[in-house]
Amino acid sequence: MSDKDEVRQKVSEFYARSVNEGSDCGCCCGGGDATLPKGVAAKHAGYQLDALKQLPEDAVRSSFGCGDPLAFSQVEPGQTVLDLGSGAGLDLLIAAEKVGPTGKVIGVDMTDDMLERARANVKAAGLTNVELRKGIIEQLPVESGTIDWVISNCVINLSPEKERVFAEIARVLKPGGRISISDIVAQDLPPWVLESAALYASCIAGAISEQAYLDGLRQAGLEQVEVTERLVYDEPQLKGLVASEVPAEQSACCGGIPAELLDMAAGTVAGKIWSAKVTGRKA
């Protein structure tokens, strides 16, 4: 197994454990916490409660996103939307409503537990225009030139081969196809943060700079690439992002890192991590 495959395996295992155990570990404040009222975790990631009321409760509670990639997007009925790292299916359900019965939504995820959860949530929502496929976002199980919109929510930062992801996005998009991606970017992170496996899975250590992110998409062949929204995380928000607020009786979470070390991480990288909404199109 290559180092990159090992990274993917660890990330997959991390999220399978998080979604199955109802852990706070993930990429949003409180994601997956079964004690939270419906919609709280997703609202912290940028969703509006009105958009979540009709969705299956599990899809909302099991969201690990850092933004709402579909907010104010121009997705139209009849179009085909591809969600990279679709997780438990929250964005799939929202996209399915936007494209309607004549459209199609495809979700790709590498984690069996997430795919199983997403299928259950799609069934609970009564949707017939959503298809789940197992695969990695560096090698998408999708035909070239068949997608109108690529969306993704705090997933690409987890990839150890981001340039391959950007190339795959360009490959599957139709001419004129668009992207709407919410993700974590970072700058000037110290070496000890970059070397932490748990902080990688928590969407911190694997994040690249905003400029590198935009340049990567442009080099893959996309145009009009820009950041339309930013949320720079302060220390309390970062504590939620890396899930450092564990119950008092627990000494560690997120792969065994002590809560006090995660507190230190939040203090160290505050102001150096932000969520960005990235848009663009294929020529």
Residue 217 phi, psi dihedral angles, 5° rounding: -70, -40
**Domain spans in the chain, listed from the N-terminal domain onward:** 3-282
Give the span between the Cα atoms of 188 and 19, in whole angstroms: 31
Task: Tell me the two tokens of residue 202.
Answer: 């928590």
User: Using an 8 Å Cβ cutoff, are 126 and 151 in contact?
Assistant: no
Tens of pLDDT, residue by residue over 170-214, are 999 999 999 999 999 999 999 988 888 878 877 888 999 999 999
SS3 call for 114: helix
Residues of the chain with pLDDT under 70: 1-2, 18-67, 72, 240-259, 261-262
Contacts of 120 (CB under 8 A, 6+ apart): 56, 58
Q: What is the CATH number of domain 3-282?
A: 3.40.50.150
> Hey, what amino acid is at 35?
T
Q: What angle do CA 81, 26, 116 make, to 5 degrees?
A: 55
Give exposure, 117-127, as e/b (b: 16+ Cβ within 10 Å).
Answer: bbbebbeebeb
Q: What is the pLDDT of residue 221?
A: 97
Tens of pLDDT, residue by residue over 18-51, are 666 654 445 553 333 333 333 334 344 555 555 5
Output the pTM of the full model: 0.81
User: Using an 8 Å Cβ cutoff, are 162 and 139 in contact?
Assistant: no
> Hey, what amino acid is at 190?
P
